[in-house]
Structure 1
Amino acid sequence: MAHWLLQHNPARGVCGSGDWTVRRYRELITAGDDVALWLSGRDGGVAAVGTIADAPADSVIKVNFTREFTGRPIPRDVLKQDERFRDALVLRMAGGSNPFPLTPEQWQAIVERVPPEHQFVAATVRGAAALAAAGVTAIREAVRSVAE
């Protein structure tokens, strides 16, 4: 399972779950991968976490942010001080295009700071998403083998 970060500029309006355009790493993104929503700007940081709902179709992925904490984002400055996150690509190349890959350590730096009211839901949703992704893959492979 991979970990991704999608960046959004809040000056462009509200965003969240749904379709996201990706320009890079399309061949590496799979359903069930973890994803974080990064709000750019002075007061930026991680405002939601969730999963990739479906593998990319052309340049579009479906994302399901299962835990949104926009009223209380994880501040960029806090993550920047964490030695696991300080070299994250989004900090070094903030003008880059979506998505930004995260290492397991960078993902852990985010997950450890998810507001407590979202912790239990996080484990349940992550488990359900992994099962759903595995089921989709199994069905896709079964259909492919019959078609051949």
Structure 2
Amino acid sequence: MAHWLLQHNPARGVCGSGDWTVRRYRELITAGDDVALWHSGRGGGVAAVGTIVDAPHDSVIGVHFTREFASRPITRETLKNDERFRDALILRMAGGSNPFPLTPAQWQAIIERVPPEHQLVAATVRGAAALAVAGATAIREAVRSVAQ
């Protein structure tokens, strides 16, 4: 399983679960991968975590953010001060395009800081997301087989 970060500028409006355009790493992204939502700009940082629910097709991936905490983001400064995260691509090349890969250590630095009220449901939501991914994959494959 891989870990990814998607960047969004909140000044451009609300974002969240749904379809996201990806320009890089399309061949490496798979359903079930972890994903974090990064708000750019002043006071930015990680505002949600979730799961990739649909592998890339036509440069679009499906994402479901299972834990959103935009009102209490894990700030850029907090993560920058964590030795596991300080070399993250999002900090070195913030102007890059989505997605940004995360190492397991960088992902752990995020997950350890998810607000406590969002950690209690993590296992249940993760299990439900895995079932949704499996179901979506099965349906997509069935449709492809009928279309051929």
Pair in the same fold by TM > 0.5: yes
Distance 2:32 2:118 in 1: 18
Partner of 1:52: 52
Q: Closer, same or farther in 2 for the Cα pair 1:142/1:25, shift >3 Å? A: same
Which structure's residues are more often helix, by fraction? 1
The two structures, once aligned, show a CA RMSD in angstroms of 2.0
**% of aligned pairs identical?**
87
Partner of 1:122: 122
Map Cα deviations across residues 36-92 of structure 1 (whole Å, 9 max, x no partner). 000011210000011111111111111111111011101110000000000000000
Residue type of the partner of 2:99? P
Tell me the SS of whatever aligns to 2:27. helix
Structure 2 matches for 1:38-77, cutoff 5 A?
38-77=38-77
Partner of 1:13: 13
* TM-score between the two structures when normalised by the length of structure 2: 0.90
Gaps of 5+ in 2: none
* TM-score between the two structures when normalised by the length of structure 1: 0.90
Distance 2:69 2:9 in 1: 16
Count of residues paired in the alignment: 148
